[in-house]
DNA sequence: CGATTGTCGATTGTATACAATAATGGGCAT
DNA sequence: ATGCCCATTATTGTATACAATCGACAATCG
């Protein structure tokens, strides 16, 4: 079967470039494309059944988002993130998300609060069943709702990009024992701050949780070999 | 004279795409390309003496940065920023820059402090001469130094983009009377916090200054017509 | 007279072709 | 055997060509 053709079929209203961006982004996040891997245009074109123009445009988008990196005449490669850079990214993400949390609380939308509570209880349930996969999905949703409640479109998009970037190394963070319970407690705290209308407190809670991930990462990567981060 | 050819000559080590990005970005910031203006590919290609491929790649970069926006099949246009969006951007910028300031102070680099002092005194000088143009340049430099002192590369780039975006409407902010003196006072405060090593205070100072710009903008655009923001 | 549809032109989306440069490998000299 | 140089080749950078879609205007029908 020609795998390439499916691309053209799938796109209903999406343009080819968008499809390619999503596809490659997904593969990078999932680790199917490893950091440092060379992205040879002709090769990818053939595999995907597309031509170089849309691929190169997709490359530019992904580069802007930090998923790819290139030097002129040397070609694109999947961005290679050092531990230090990853820490840098986490610091930014912590700030952006805590800002969003602050704004979300200030907006005082009862429907948002309701949604957060629902997700929170759902997470408690799947945590008891030790379903980390389901938990991760709900967790993402929880923070997505929080971000969107900021009603700041630019911020929402920015956070989305940064979350995706850190998720490339999520596996590491989430496999840590106790992390799940800490996460649940954190959500509880945020919801409580939300109920109190204490935006600053919610902001601090959110920031602390994200920054804590850095510790986990640092610990992990000083023990084990830096591998091919 | 063929204006187009200069493009190819100028690039020494820069690729065409980079040159185009810089050029268009500059024109958008300076207002030479107005918000909402259609960017017809063929037209620009002829004017610039380039072909569509690099132009379209530059488009993608600029779109990622928020300077352009496009709908499929409808074409690119210079992004049209509502007052609300501009406020959103300022809120993000305030957060990013205050974060950078915090990190900068924590790094405690005496050379940075020295550089900030130098720029500060320079600004006081040109302010006395009412040279707002020179002041603006020094001001940009001041905050650039502050951002770079964070030593967080990703953050530095992000701030750069956001600063450029808000600078599209800088004219408005800076023509306000009293703004210059307030700006000088703010720098003084930040330097003092730096000397004390009080990162949190410096962070608050920086944030307050940027957020204040929003007020100025809002005032300006509720009096005057929203124009073609 | 208004609405609808068809056709044409303009413009974007995609593919291919050409040019320039960097990586590779083999031959030759030391 | 090893290191340097040159040629070859692979790959990116740029330009052009082709296809698909959208918008506007006009012709036709109710």
pLDDT digit string (tens) for B73-131? 899 999 998 899 999 999 999 999 999 999 999 999 999 999 999 999 999 999 999 88
Task: Give the per-residue pLDDT at B174.
Answer: 63
A166 CA → C1 C1’, Å = 64
Task: Give the per-residue pLDDT at B175.
Answer: 67
What CA–CA distances, in Å, run from A27 to A4, A35, A131, B61, B73? 16, 11, 23, 21, 27
pLDDT digit string (tens) for A216-228? 888 887 776 544 4
pLDDT digit string (tens) for B3-34? 333 444 333 467 889 999 999 999 999 999 99
DSSP state letters, A160-214: HHHHHHHHTTHHHHHTSTTHHHHHHHHHHHHHHHHHHT-HHHHHHHHHHHHHHHH
Task: Give the per-residue pLDDT at A5.
Answer: 31
- Nearest nucleotide by C1' from A14 CA? C13
Q: What is the mean pLDDT of residues A175-200?
A: 91
Q: How many CA atoms lie within 13 A of B127 on its CB side?
A: 19
Question: Which residue bears the tokens 């991760």?
Answer: A136
Strand D lies under 7 A from the Cβ of residue B70: no
Which among B64, B86, B59, B47 has a CA at the least distance from the CA of B170?
B86
Task: Give the per-residue pLDDT at B63.
Answer: 95
- Collect all residues of chain A within an 8 Å Cβ-Cβ radius of residue B56: 53, 57
Determine whether the interchain pair B99/A103 forms a contact, defined as Cβ–Cβ distance below 8 Å.
no
Are A10 and A53 spatial neighbours (Cβ–Cβ below 8 Å)?
no
- Nearest nucleotide by C1' from A52 CA? C15
- Chain A residues 71 to 110 whose Cβ lies within 7 Å of strand D are 72-76
| Structure-model confidence comparison of residues B168 and A11, the more confident one | B168
Task: Give the per-residue pLDDT at A215.
Answer: 87
d(CA B78, CA B120): 35
Q: Which two tokens stand for residue B33?
A: 């390309």
Instruction: Note the Cα A179 to chain centre separation in Å.
Output: 18
Q: Is B92 on the interface with A (CB under 8 A)?
A: yes
pLDDT at residue A59 above 90? yes
Q: Is B216 on the interface with A (CB under 8 A)?
A: no
The distance of B125 to chain A (nearest Cα, Å) reads 35
Where residue A100 falls among pLDDT bands split at 50, 70, 90?
very high
Where residue A211 falls among pLDDT bands split at 50, 70, 90?
very high
Question: Which residue bears the tokens 């499929």?
Answer: B72
Q: Starting from the edge strand earliest in sequence, which strands make up the sheet with A68-71, in order?
A: A38-39, A75-78, A68-71
pLDDT digit string (tens) for A13-35? 678 899 999 999 999 999 999 99
Question: Which residue bears the tokens 């204490």?
Answer: A198
Q: How many residues comprise chain A? A: 229
- Collect all residues of chain A within an 8 Å Cβ-Cβ radius of residue B53: 53, 56
Q: Which two tokens stand for residue A67?
A: 């998923």
d(CA B115, CA B122): 11
d(CA A123, CA B12): 56
Strand D lies under 7 A from the Cβ of residue A141: no
Task: Give the per-residue pLDDT at B125.
Answer: 96
Task: Give the per-residue pLDDT at A6.
Answer: 38
d(CA A124, CA A184): 7
Interface test with B, best of A58, A91, A159 (most B CBs within 10 A): A91
pLDDT at residue A175 above 70? no
Determine whether the interchain pair B91/A155 forms a contact, defined as Cβ–Cβ distance below 8 Å.
yes
Instruction: Name which of A5-19, A75-89, B9-23, B169-183 the model is least confident about.
Output: A5-19
d(CA A21, CA B207): 35
Q: What is the average pLDDT score of chain A? A: 88
Q: What is the mean pLDDT of residues A141-159?
A: 97
Where residue B171 falls among pLDDT bands split at 50, 70, 90?
low
Task: Give the per-residue pLDDT at A195.
Answer: 97
Domains plus CATH for chain B? Answer: 5-78 (1.10.10.10), 83-223 (1.20.120.530)
Question: Quick one: closest CA in B to A73, which residue?
Answer: B15
Task: Give the per-residue pLDDT at A29.
Answer: 93
DSSP at A80 = P
Tell me how many degrees the CA angle A215-A217-A218 measures, rounded to the nearest 5.
Answer: 65
Q: Which two tokens stand for residue B96?
A: 């990013």
Task: Give the per-residue pLDDT at A62.
Answer: 96
Q: What contacts A127, CB < 8 A, 6 or more positions away?
A: A135, A180, A181, A184
Q: What is the average pLDDT score of chain B? A: 88
Strand D lies under 7 A from the Cβ of residue B54: yes
pLDDT at residue B69 above 50? yes
Q: Which helix (H) or strand (E) holds B185?
A: helix B179-196
Task: Give the per-residue pLDDT at A4.
Answer: 34
Q: What are phi and psi of B70, to 5 degrees?
A: -145, 150
Q: What is the mean pLDDT of residues B172-188?
A: 83
Q: What is the mean pLDDT of residues B161-186?
A: 84
Are B229 and B86 spatial neighbours (Cβ–Cβ below 8 Å)?
yes
d(CA A214, CA B158): 20
Instruction: Note the Cα B229 to chain centre separation in Å.
Output: 16
d(CA A41, CA A64): 18
Task: Give the per-residue pLDDT at A2.
Answer: 34
pLDDT at residue A177 above 80? no
Are A77 and A70 spatial neighbours (Cβ–Cβ below 8 Å)?
yes
- Collect all residues of chain A within an 8 Å Cβ-Cβ radius of residue B65: 64
- Please give the share of chain A, as a percent, with pLDDT higher than 70: 89
Determine whether the interchain pair B72/A15 forms a contact, defined as Cβ–Cβ distance below 8 Å.
yes
């Amino acid at each position: 079967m020609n795998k390439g053709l499916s691309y053209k079929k799938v796109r209903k209203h999406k343009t080819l470039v968008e499809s390619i961006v999503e596809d490659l982004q997904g593969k990078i996040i999932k680790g199917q494309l490893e950091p440092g891997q060379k992205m040879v245009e002709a090769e990818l074109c053939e595999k995907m059944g597309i031509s170089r123009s849309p691929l190169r445009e997709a490359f530019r988008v992904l580069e802007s988002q930090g998923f790819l990196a290139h030097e002129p005449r040397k070609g694109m490669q999947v961005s290679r993130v050092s531990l230090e850079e990853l820490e840098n990214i986490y610091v930014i993400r912590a700030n952006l998300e805590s800002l969003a949390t602050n704004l979300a609380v200030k907006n005082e939308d009862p429907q948002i609060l309701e949604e957060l509570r629902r997700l929170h209880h759902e997470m408690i349930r799947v945590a008891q069943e030790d379903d980390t996969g389901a938990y991760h999905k709900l967790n993402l949703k929880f923070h997505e709702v929080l971000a969107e409640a900021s009603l700041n479109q630019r911020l929402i998009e920015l956070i989305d990009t940064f979350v995706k970037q850190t998720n490339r190394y999520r596996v590491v963070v989430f496999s840590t024992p106790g992390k799940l319970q800490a996460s649940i407690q954190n959500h509880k705290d945020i919801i409580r701050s939300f109920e109190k209308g204490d935006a600053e407190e919610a902001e601090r809670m959110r920031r602390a949780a994200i920054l804590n991930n850095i510790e986990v990462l640092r610990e992990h990567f000083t023990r084990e070999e830096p591998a091919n981060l």
